[in-house]
């Protein structure tokens, strides 16, 4: 469960500061699907980076499964992030010249838990789960946009995360492929119980989620 209360975030700009998130209160239950909507510059990515333990905040509280995040060491944050959170980005963020299977295995290299053959096995299972096991040995840049986003989703789920954070996951895809990707994310949410948080400015993408919030100028307005 994600519990955010009275959270504020400022960015330094020149000599002043910019109030990017204002008294955010938000609880996301396990297994929920949530769309975060709002115009460009509203603060959506800032909120996602904070929930994803990629950025800090200035006041208020963020708890993940009851654990207050503020004050945790970088090592603890990295461990928590690696265990609990999978990221899916608009630009896929793949290593283009590496094979699909290497891209998917990547998160497992950081937790030093598995042998290489076990990592390969888990990566093939994740690729199977997203329907592109047959593409495993291709270079990432040989795939279509939709296939590349599937690789990113396989990479996001390989550590069996509790939460998927997707920032404009369909932003670089045509509308037909967008539907396929959202159906896949929704299916992972429904059948694997993974909490799904999707940032989007597209209503038809947000419609895949049970709950929608809108951010405007750093505040949740609905």
Interface residue list for ligand ADP (CB under 6 A): 11, 13, 18, 20, 38, 40-46
φ/ψ of residue 215, rounded to 5 = -105, 135
Query: Which residue number, 94 or 165, has a Cβ lying nearer to Mg ion?
Result: 165
Residue 195 touches which member of Mg ion, ligand ADP, none, C-beta under 5-8 Å by kind? none
Query: Which residue number, 15 or 112, has a Cβ lying nearer to ligand ADP?
Result: 15
* Binding flag, residue 37, Mg ion (CB under 5 A): no
Residue 41 touches which member of Mg ion, ligand ADP, none, C-beta under 5-8 Å by kind? ligand ADP
Q: What angle do CA 69, 70, 76 make, to 5 degrees?
A: 55
Choice from 35, 36, 38, 45 touching Mg ion (CB under 5 A): 45
Q: CB of 144 within 8 A of CB of 175? A: no
Residue 150 touches which member of Mg ion, ligand ADP, none, C-beta under 5-8 Å by kind? none
- Interface mask (CB under 5 A) for Mg ion, residues 65-104, using x and -? ----------------------------------------
- Per DSSP, the three-state class of 8 is strand
Q: CB of 166 within 8 A of CB of 88? A: yes
Q: How far is the CB of 167 from ligand ADP (least distance, A)?
A: 8
Query: Which residue number, 48 or 94, has a Cβ lying nearer to ligand ADP?
Result: 48
- Interface mask (CB under 5 A) for Mg ion, residues 5-24, using x and -? --------------------
- The span from the CA of 123 to the CA of 158, in Å, is 6
Going by C-alpha positions, the residue among 200, 206, 153 that lies closest to residue 33 is: 206
Q: Return the axis-axis angle of helices 116-129 and 145-157, rounded to nearest 10°.
A: 130
Nearest position to Mg ion, beta carbon? 45
CB atoms within 10 A of CB 109: 12
- Per DSSP, the three-state class of 217 is coil
Q: How far is the CB of 13 from ligand ADP (least distance, A)?
A: 5
């Amino acid at each position: 469960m994600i519990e955010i209360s009275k959270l504020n975030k400022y960015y330094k700009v020149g000599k002043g500061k910019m109030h990017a998130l204002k008294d955010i209160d938000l609880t996301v239950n396990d297994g929920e699907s949530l769309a975060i909507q709002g115009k460009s510059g509203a603060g959506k990515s800032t909120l996602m980076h904070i929930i994803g333990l990629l950025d800090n905040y200035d006041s208020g509280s963020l708890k993940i499964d009851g654990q207050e995040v503020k004050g945790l060491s970088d090592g603890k944050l990295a461990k928590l992030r690696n265990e609990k959170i999978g990221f899916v980005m608009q630009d896929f963020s793949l290593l283009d010249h590496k094979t699909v299977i290497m891209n998917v295995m990547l998160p497992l290299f950081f937790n030093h838990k598995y042998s290489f053959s076990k990592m390969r096995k888990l990566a093939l299972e994740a690729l199977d789960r997203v329907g592109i096991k047959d593409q495993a040995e291709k270079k990432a840049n040989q795939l279509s946009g939709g296939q590349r986003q599937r690789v990113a989703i396989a990479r996001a789920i390989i550590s069996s995360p509790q939460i998927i954070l997707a920032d404009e996951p369909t932003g670089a895809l045509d509308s037909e492929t967008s539907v396929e990707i959202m159906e896949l994310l929704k299916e992972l949410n429904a059948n694997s119980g993974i909490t799904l948080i999707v940032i989007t400015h597209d209503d038809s993408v947000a419609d895949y989620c049970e709950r929608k919030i809108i951010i405007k100028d750093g505040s949740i307005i609905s």
